[in-house]
Structure 1
Amino acid sequence: MNAAYVFRVRFRLDAASGVRTDPRTFETVVEVAAADPGENDWTFFRDALWRGEVNDDRYARELAEEWLSVPVDAVSFSELRTDEAYLTALRAEIADHLDLFNADSAREVLHKYLGSSIRVEDGD
């Protein structure tokens, strides 16, 4: 199984006094490995996303600053990039814990938090 949350992050360099950088801000794509369904932090999407978007800008910037160790100005969610095996396991785990999501089905949960931002890739 393979899956990652993909974000676009704009960060800046805070140079020492008397040092100038050009450009001062940069954009990058950040891929964060998704926890296996049922493992610690497997509900990351519930805590960080809503309808395929970052649900709390400040929280997302704080996470990205931890990931990158630089000051972050902006974060946007791009997609959950996954293989079919991971998505199947995720759906099953969600279905077993619908009470965590206040939903009636795994499909509803995925749409509620990830919107249409799931990309399934071949395992080849």
Structure 2
Amino acid sequence: MNASYVFRVTFRLDPSDAHVDPDTFETVLRIPAEPPGADGWLFFQQHLWRGDVADAEHMRRVAADRLAVDVVSISFSELATDEAYLTALKTTIEADLARFNADSVDEVLHQHFGSSIHVRDDGFDTE
């Protein structure tokens, strides 16, 4: 069971005793998704809304902490998942649907991920 939150990140290097050129770079950040029901599994509820980051400033800080660089911008790309993780996610959401103030699992997924869930059973890298 594998899944990752995939973000596009722009970061800046600003060394105190050197000059870098360019000083701004773009990369892809993959944050492994916790198993549904485990601590941290509600990352999507706390950080995503309608297929994008809910609070850009907060997510820049989250990314900066993980990358140890100054993050200039961040955007959500997708939840890259295998079928087993997606099935477990749906089952866990359905068991506690009231938590999400929604009428269905599909509504919850759309509220947070938009259309940015991609099932990849072809050995995608979540590391």
Name the TM-score, length of structure 1 as normaliser: 0.96
SS at match of 1:80: strand
- 1:93–1:123 CA distance, 2 compared to 1 (3 A): farther
Q: Alpha-carbon deviation of 1:123?
A: 5.1
- The residue correspondences of 1:23-34 to structure 2 (distance < 5 A) are 23-34=22-33
Aligned residue for 1:26, secondary structure, equals: strand
**Structure 2 vs 1, CA of residues 51 and 7 (structure 1 numbering), >3 Å: closer, same or farther?**
same
Structure 2: distance between partners of 1:123 and 1:26: 28
The C-alpha deviation readout for 1:9-43, integer Å capped at 9, x for no partner, is 000001114x2110001000010000000000101
Q: Which residue of 2 aligns with 1:37?
A: 36
Give the aligned partner of residue 92 of structure 2.
Answer: 93
**How much is the aligned-residue C-alpha RMSD, in angstroms?**
1.0
Aligned residues: 123
Unpaired runs of 5+ residues, structure 2, are none
Cα deviations by residue, 1:34-55 (Å, 9 ceiling, x for unpaired): 0000000101001100010011
- Give me the whole-angstrom Cα distance separating, in 2, the residues matched to 1:26 and 1:94: 36
- The aligned counterpart of 2:6 is 6
Structure 1: runs of 5 or more not aligned: none
Per the alignment, residue 117 of structure 1 pairs with: 116
Q: Which residue does 2:49 correspond to in 1?
A: 50
